[in-house]
Amino acid sequence: MISSMPPSLHINIDHVATVRQARRTVEPSPLEALKILVELKRELQGYTQARFNDADCAQEGSNSVQARSQLKAESLAGITIHLREDRRHINDRDVLEIDSFLRDHLEMGLTFEMGATEEIRAVCLTTKAKLATIVPESRAELTTEGGMDIIARKKYLKEFIKPIQANGTQVSFFVDPVIEQISAAHELGAEFVELHTGTYANLFIVETPQLVSERAALNLHGKVPQLGPEDLAQSVYLEYERLAVACKHAQKLGLKTNLGHGLTLTNLPPLLRIPNIQELHIGHSIIANAIYSGLAAEVRNYLELINVCDR
C-alpha cells in the first residue's frame, strides 16, 4: 500500500567524503556525520517523549507541537551512500564502518547506491542495507547525470538484482520520469523507483536565478520562500508535471516512489505537493549549507584556542 504520510528524509553523506578525499586525509568523516544525524533523531524523539509526558500536553496547542515533533523524528529516516567503482568519495572502509554502526543503531536505515557491477554488488551483499538503488554510472561524470536505461539492460538487470533481494535488501531503480522505464522497473520486480529530479533542478536554476541557492534566497528574502507549482516558470512547471505523472504511474503499479538529485530547500516545496512520495534522497545542498551554518562555530573554537593556549 502506498503511504500518504509526509516523505521521509534520507541524507546522502557522499560529499562529506568528497571533502576528505580532496586532501586524502582523515577528516571530515562520513561516520562522524552519521553519528550527528543519529543524535539529532534521538533529540527529536526525546523532545517528543518529554512533550508527551508533560502535564500540559492535554492542551490542543501542546498536542499539535508534540505531533509535529513526532513527525520530524520519524521523517529523519536514514542515510544514503554511493560506492562508486573509482571510490572518488565513499570507500570500502566507510561502507564497513557505517554498516557496522547502523547495525547497532536501528533507528536509521541505510540506502546503498550502486552501479550495476558484480564488484559493487559483492560489497552491497556484505551490508544490511534497507534499500539498494541501482544507478547508471560513468567514470567521466562529476555526478549521476540521468536515469538508468532499464529497457536496454532488462535481461542483465533481472538477474543482477536477485541476490540483493535474496539478501533482504529491497531494490530501487534510479530512472528519468519516463513511463516505459518505470514499467520496466516494475516488470523486473523492483520495490521502488527513484525519479531523477536533476532536470527539474537545473531548469529551476536557469529560470529562478534569484533563488539559485538557499543562501541567495535568505539574503534576498530573509527566509526561504515556499513556492507552489503555480509559481514555477513554464519550463520548470512542465518538468514538474512530468514528475507528477510519473509518480502517479509508478504508484498505480504498486511501486514506492522516491525523489532525488539536485533537491534544495528552494526547489523542493513544489514537489512536496505530489501525493504519496515515499522518500527524499538529498545530499549536496544539505552538506553545502551546513558549511555556512557551522562555519562561525568552528572559527570560534580556533579563536578560543589561540587566545587561551599557554605560550
Catalytic residue among 15, 113, 249, 279: 113
Question: 3-state DSSP call for residue 204?
Answer: helix
Residue 187 known to be catalytic: no
Is 113 tagged catalytic?
yes
List the catalytic residue out of 10, 89, 249, 261: 261
- Cβ atoms of 178 and 197 within 8 Å: the answer is no
**Residue 186, SS3 per DSSP:** helix
Distance CA 98, CA 47 (A): 26
Q: How many CA atoms lie within 13 A of 160 on its CB side?
A: 25
CA distances from residue 142 to 40, 84, 137, 278 in whole angstroms, order as listed: 30, 12, 10, 27
| φ, ψ (nearest 5 deg) of residue 128 | -110, 40
Nearest to 162 by CA among 153, 170, 151: 170
Instruction: Find out whether 124 and 132 touch, Cβ atoms under 8 Å.
Output: yes
Contact 249, 179 (CB under 8 A): yes
If 0-12 CB within 10 Å is exposed, 13-18 middle and 19+ buried, where does residue 295 land?
A: exposed
Report which of 11, 68, 56 is spatially closest to residue 37, judged by C-alpha positions.
Answer: 11
- SS3 for 10? strand
Find the farthest-apart pair of alpha carbons in the chain and give their distance in angstroms, rounded. Answer: 70
Of 15, 82, 89, 196, catalytic: 82
Catalytic site includes residue 241? no
Helix%, strand%, coil% for the chain, nearest 5: 55, 15, 30
**Hey, which residues does 111 pair with through a beta bridge?**
80, 131
- 3-state class of 2 per DSSP? coil
* Residues noted as catalytic: 82, 113, 261
